[in-house]
Amino acid sequence: MYSARNPDKVKYNIRIDANLAKQYTLDVLKKVEQDTSLNELKNHSLGTYYLGTNFANTVRHMWAIEYPENVPAIDIVSPIQRHHTNEEWQLLLTTHQDFVDESENRFGITAHGCGHYIHKDNPELILYIIAKAYLSTISEENFKIKILSKLLDKSIVELKNKSD
């Protein structure tokens, strides 16, 4: 939503196993609205409760919002199917691939071995993706070289530790 409203302010968008509105059909939204398990969250996770109760309305609103062509994006997806039916899961994967295919400035990554919380399962992957996105927004070459050098140093330490 922010990217659509402020495409001139957004330099890059990194989506970490994000929900894309187009992956939700009317049937899926009906199922979400009929889910009574949200009531159990009301007493100990009020934020999650309200997020869930308003989810279908949020999705319907987002159906009308187009992601801006000029804002580059990296779309990271977990390959682990969770609570979806096979049909819903295929739609989710297709929707993410369609999002990436809509523009040359979008890149898709499947985070193998990661669940929904990719940033916890593979924090290094997220670090490098953020660095890649950040580097693309910098024009000063010397600063880019410093960042790349630090990333290489980190990679060397990680690889060394894995071999010890």
Condensed to tens digits (0 to 9), the pLDDT of residues 116-140 reads 999 999 999 999 999 999 999 988 9
* Confidence at residue 26, expressed as pLDDT on a 0 to 100 scale: 92
Q: Is the pTM of this model over 0.95?
A: no
* Confidence at residue 101, expressed as pLDDT on a 0 to 100 scale: 97
Domain ranges within the chain, ordered by starting residue: 2-117, 122-164
DSSP string covering the chain, please? -HHHH-TTT---EEEES---GGG--HHHHHHHHH--GGGGGTTT-HHHHHHHHHHHHHHHHHHTPPPPTTS-EEEEE-----S--HHHHHHHHHHHHHHHHT-TTEEEEE-TT--S-HHHH-HHHHHHHHHHHHHHT---HHHHHHHHHHHHHHHHHHHHHHH-
Nearest to 15 by CA among 92, 81, 113: 92
DSSP string covering 95-118, please? HHHHHHHT-TTEEEEE-TT--S-H
Report residue 74's pLDDT band, with 50, 70 and 90 as the boundaries.
Answer: very high
* Confidence at residue 21, expressed as pLDDT on a 0 to 100 scale: 93
* Confidence at residue 82, expressed as pLDDT on a 0 to 100 scale: 82
Inform me whether the pLDDT recorded for 164 exceeds 80.
no
Quick one: tokens of 126?
A: 């997220």
> What is the average pLDDT score of the chain?
91
Inform me whether the pLDDT recorded for 163 exceeds 80.
no
Inform me whether the pLDDT recorded for 76 exceeds 80.
yes
Condensed to tens digits (0 to 9), the pLDDT of residues 12-57 reads 999 999 999 999 999 989 988 888 888 888 888 899 888 888 999 9
